[in-house]
Structure 1
Amino acid sequence: MTAKRRPSEVLADARRKDSREKRAKVLAVVEEMVARGDAVTLASVAKTAGVSNWLVYAEGVREHIETARKQQAGKGRRDRQEGLSPSAASLRTDLELSRQEVTALRGERDRLKAALQRQLGQQRDQIGSADLIARVEELTRQNEELASEVGDLRLVKSELEAKVEELEDDLAAARSSLRRMIRAENSGPALA
């Protein structure tokens, strides 16, 4: 049978186990960061591993992180010496060239945008002018047709007025003739 442990012993064992797990996690994170080529710093390891900053400074952990940092620093120096990694001056030159290219591209974009706006404006004006010209021609034709129709109607009106006047004269003459006939009939021999 095992001896009964006191609560303080259980707590101490749990803390030791938790510490071992966190340390193992930190060492695994350091190896992953080195494999990915991420910059290994004490703060970045603590953040990535999700542990406190004091743990990455603890004895046995800090040495692994410092070794990884030295390996990365040595690799960067070797890469620069072998021409595999760009120098700071090369990066500044690339940045300046990129800025000049961006400026040139923005200028070209602005020129093309202005040219497109002018062209679209001209097309709209031409379409508008063509439509207006067609509409004016249509209205002019309709006006001429209506003027011709008005002339024809005036001619018909004058002919009808002349006919009405002639008919009124005929009617007046017929009335006058009818009155005479009625008078003659009334003044004629009386029948018994």
Structure 2
Amino acid sequence: MARRTEVADAAIATLAREGMRGLTHRAVDRTAGLPEGSTSYYFRTRNALLKAVVERLAEVDAAEIPALPNGDLDAFADAAARLVHAWLTIGRDRQLARYELTLEATRRPELREVLVTAGAKVRGMVADRLGAAGVAEPDSRAADFVALVDGLVFDQIAGAGDRELTPARLRAVLRALLAAIGGMASDPDRL
């Protein structure tokens, strides 16, 4: 793993654990087990470090999205349910970091620009899969799907929800969501 990637991953873990206030170059050095000053060598400013975190999150997302199949919305819903469940469990730190950055981006236009670009790439990949499955207006529907999934994830990560999204429950919710956005026949027996 390249050192810049290692530092970005440590920054994600630090951000998830400590929040925006706790994200310092020294804290990232400690998380990564690197000598003091290592993070600032690779990312001189806080803005550079934040940008690196957004780019790393987008890179990991872009690597995961191809696991969502083309052409079959049932298979897409099943794979999406597995992916979202992984985000809620083993990928929880990434989601916490993403939400921290999303809020910070409301005050930092330069960070918002990077976040919007990264999000557009993910929505584009989802749109490709929805389009291949015959969903009308795949770009618009992908934006809806991603936003609604993001809401489900946030609800679970923030602890606002009163139910656990098990893999089976996620599969049912995502199938219903795909039916609602025009991609699947709504069959209550399948949910």
TM-score (norm 2): 0.27
Q: Which has the higher contact order (CA 8 A, sep 6+)?
A: 2
Greater helix percent: which structure? 1
TM-score (norm 1): 0.27
